[in-house]
Amino acid sequence: MSEPAEAVGTLQIALENALSMLSAKPDLAAEQATEILKVVPGQPNALLIQGAARRALGDAAGALAVLVPLADALPDWPAAQLELGHALGASGRQDAAIRALQRATQLLPDWSDAWRALGDQFTSNGDTEAANAAYAHQIKASVSNPRLLEPAAALCDGRIAVAEALLRSFLKQHPTDVAAIRMLAEVAARLGRYADSETLLQRCLELAPGFHAARHNLATVLHRQGKAQAALDEVEELLALEPRNAGYLNLKAAVLTRIGEYPEAIEIFAAVLRQYPKQARIWMSYGHALKTAGRQEEAVRAYRTSISLEPTLGEAYWSLANLKTVRFIDEDIAAMRTQLAREDLSAPDRYHFEFALGKALEDAASYPDSFAHYAEGNRLRRRELNYSAADTHDHMLRSLGIFSREFFAARVNSGCAAPDPIFVVGLPRAGSTLIEQILASHSQVEGTMELPDITMLARELSGRKLRRDTSRYPEILATLDREALSELGERYLAQTRVQRKTDAPYFIDKMPNNFQHVGFIHLILPRARIIDARRHPLGCCFSGFKQHFARGQNFSYSLEDIGRYYRDYVQLMAHVDDVLPGRVHRVIYEQMVSDTEAEVRRLLEYCQLPFEASCLHFYENERAVRTASSEQVRRPIFRDGVDQWRNYDPWLGPLRDALGSVLDSYPAPPQSWDAP
């Protein structure tokens, strides 16, 4: 016999009442669900509400006690799989959560909430590529306008140009459609046009302030542009709504790490790991923060934990190798070889293993095998990049063309007069971190990190949206008046203020690539100090070749590319020496190693700083160091690394050829320049 209609209606009303209380009053929702279950034992919707309420109250175990048997009993119910995925994620069982959420999306492919939850779990797990794919499906699933289905599908399939064309056409007719605006922002982010993506996402939030997915996207884009405070503001707004959201917490910790707030970042990572203890990639990020803060033993344990949880994670092995002080044992080497033998290993994992194994075999003095692994790691990484040595050479020649003695003479006393920044430029692995650590040990100088701000300002001036666009930089500098140059200098100081933690009058920006912008720096900050860190071409270039950089330095993954880059660098700096004599102070790494005190005194004299003995004891400085040399500069200067390249001399022919006369004339520039 069926239930009376009145009873069914009463049950439906009770369920709707419980559901309405779930978000604001989960405790009352749980009570209502329990009362329903007393009357109708096993009622599926009541069980679902009860499980969701327990999760909302922080009782993940209690939620799973309800949801696991419910999902087992009704395996084809998408809502049960979604809520089970949420609860599994909250209990730290990320892999199981992902499986449940994938099941939910299979059962109901157009359910945007399920795709968003899956993207959040991938984000918490550190799998950016999978997260982006899930979020793209979420966008597609949330589209209600049939005309947006095609660009959404193109975005999911990675057909970015098609998606962009369709979206721009749609937005001409519907300029306030937030779903389309968000999709176009995603297109811009995929293309690296972060400023455009930021503008679009801000427009999204003007139209729909409660569009939390767009706000998360905006926070990420701001972080990628180095706009730390703005990113934190957006993350904090999201965390006010979901304080336990691991994806939001991870992003906050990453932003804090970027601006040197390591104690708070470490605390957040530790808290997330207490909630999600089996997340290999979060353990790795935790290790990065600990390493930079100088807590090496804890960093090693974090990296080892990451490896134990995910043995295929090549980046965790490379993170250990990149400490430069860890020596892999035979078991480690065997484990890395085992992973490299897998056919299903992802490209990033593979090249991280290649670099790590190259370092392990270098430490074991197996130089032929070591070089083979370094070379393969570079080959794989280079294949992913669009770096053009010809573009770098063209920029150098254009800089030579505009930056003449007359050009600078006509702009004397332009720019911002603040003397605060000390720029350390050159190539990576040339001793810039050592110089930074020496200067940061002076009472009047604060060390920060490799700041992206000069590059960002130059990119803004260039006007380039796409790689194929012609850059207006550096020629556009000739059109800027004194006021504009001064404003750019002030902008740089304002943007970098977040990096300064003390009241020291001077701070260091050690972005090595800023050598390409020395003329620009001189124009906007004429009183800033500029130090060129230079190392023997073979030592510097090969050290860069065997280093996998977290980001940037795309020239370093080919011996030919890095040799040409070094040659362009020397030619540009020689030109600067000619047109601005004495403006740049050069530190030759080998001279710093052989006669440290004399070189330190010269360095301080150039910076107009009184000599302090603490600069000779730089290795006692406990400041955070955010480069590959972080552990090396915590020890006294040693000569061991000066000639390490000689172990690989038989394989450096392509590098020698690319360097040309720059190699023979070192440390001076050549009298004439070879054709590229």
Condensed to tens digits (0 to 9), the pLDDT of residues 253-289 reads 989 988 888 899 999 999 988 888 888 888 999 999 9
Joined together, the tokens standing for residue 336 give: 């890395």
The amino acid that residue 261 corresponds to is: E
132 pLDDT exceeds 80?
no
Strands 584-588 and 445-449 come out as unpaired
CA–CA separation, 389 and 382 (whole Å): 12
Task: Measure the CA–CA gap between 219 and 240, rounded to whole angstroms.
Answer: 14
pLDDT at 467 > cutoff 70:
no
pLDDT tens digits for range 8-40: 457 778 788 877 887 778 888 888 888 888 888
Taking the alpha carbons at both ends of the chain, their separation in whole angstroms is: 90
Residues 6+ apart with CB under 8 A from 520: 454, 457, 458, 474, 477
**pLDDT of 352 above 70:** yes
CA distance 48 to 71: 9
Q: Is the pLDDT of residue 162 over 50?
A: yes
Q: Are 117 and 82 in contact (CB under 8 A)?
A: yes
Span 509-519, average pLDDT: 96
Whether the Cβ atoms of residue 361 and residue 348 lie closer than 8 Å to each other: no
pLDDT category at 292 given cuts 50, 70, 90 is confident
Torsion of CA 411, 413, 419, 420, to 10 degrees: -50
Name the one residue in this structure whose structure tokens are 């939850």.
Answer: 117
> Measured between alpha carbons, how far is 54 from 27 in angstroms, rounded to an integer?
8
pLDDT at residue 416, as a whole number:
97
- 574, with CB counted inside 10 A (0-12, 13-18, 19+), is middle
Q: Is 167 exposed, middle or buried (0-12, 13-18, 19+ CB in 10 A)?
A: buried
* CA 661/CA 577 separation, integer angstroms: 19
Q: What percent of the chain has pLDDT over 70?
A: 93
Task: Note the Cα 134 to chain centre separation in Å.
Answer: 20
Segment 495-523 shows an average pLDDT of 95
Tokens of 216: 């998360």
Q: Can you tell me the distance from the alpha carbon of 56 to that of 547, in angstroms, rounded to the nearest whole number?
A: 45
The pLDDT of residue 618: 82
Cα–Cα dist 268/42, whole Å: 39
Note the pLDDT tens digit of each residue in 409-423: 999 989 999 999 999
Report CA Rg, the chain: 28
What pLDDT score does 335 carry? 97
Average pLDDT estimate for 75-81: 87
Report residue 416 as tokens: 């911002």
Does residue 490 contact residue 528 with C-beta atoms inside 8 Å? no
Q: Give the model's pLDDT for residue 653.
A: 97
Q: Which segments of 403-558 does DSSP mark as H helices, in order?
A: 405-409, 432-440, 453-462, 482-496, 518-524, 537-545
Residue 584 has pLDDT above 70, yes or no: yes
pLDDT at 14: 79
The pLDDT confidence band at residue 5, using thresholds 50, 70 and 90, is very low
Query: What tokens does 625 get?
Result: 């160091």
Per-residue model confidence (pLDDT) at position 633: 46
Going by pLDDT thresholds of 50, 70 and 90, the confidence category of residue 522 is: very high
| Of the candidate ranges 496-500, 505-509, 542-546, 557-561, the one whose mean pLDDT is the lowest | 496-500
> Is the per-residue pLDDT at 577 higher than 80?
yes
The average pLDDT across 588-614 equals 95
For residue 368, pLDDT over 50 is answered with: yes
* Model pLDDT, residue 466: 63
Q: Cα–Cα distances in Å, from 628 out to 467, 550, 620?
A: 29, 9, 18
State mean pLDDT over 63-92. Answer: 88
HEC-encoded secondary structure of 346-403: CHHHHHHHHHHHHHHHHHCCCHHHHHHHHHHHHHHHHHCCCCCHHHHHHHHHHHHHHC
Q: Return mean pLDDT, the chain.
A: 88
| Strand arrangement of the beta sheet that strand 421-426 belongs to | 445-449, 506-509, 421-426, 529-534, 584-588
180 or 578, greater pLDDT:
578
Q: How confident is the model at residue 571 (pLDDT cuts 50, 70, 90)?
A: very high
| CATH topology for the 390-665 domain | Rossmann fold (3.40.50)
Residue 564 pLDDT class (50, 70, 90 cuts): very high
What was the pLDDT predicted at 138? 73
Residue found under tokens 């939910």: 104
Looking at per-residue pLDDT, the higher value among 226 and 491 belongs to: 491
For Cα atoms 493, 424, 676, give the angle at the middle one, nearest 5 degrees.
115
Residue 637 pLDDT? 63
Collapsing DSSP states into helix, strand and coil, what is residue 294? coil
Strand, coil or helix: 423: strand
Q: DSSP per residue over 188-202, as a string? A: HHHTT-HHHHHHHHH
Please state the separation of Cα 127 from the chain's center in Å.
Answer: 13
Per-residue pLDDT at 465: 65
pLDDT at 17: 81
Instruction: Report the distance separating Cα 550 and Cα 471, nearest Å.
Output: 26
In angstroms, rounded to a whole number, what is the distance separating the alpha carbons of residues 197 and 249?
22
The residues, any chain, with a CB within 8 Å of residue 68's CB and separated by 6 or more, are 84
Relative orientation angle of helices 44-56 and 60-73, to the nearest 10 degrees: 150
Q: What is the pLDDT of residues 622-666, one digit of tens each?
A: 655 544 444 454 455 656 667 889 999 999 999 999 999 999 999
Mean pLDDT of 193-206: 91
* Domain extents in the chain: 327-384, 390-665
DSSP 8-state symbol, 264? H
Rounded to whole angstroms, how far apart are CA atoms 78 and 62?
20
Regarding beta strands 506-509 and 445-449, do their DSSP bridges make them parallel or antiparallel, or are they unpaired? parallel
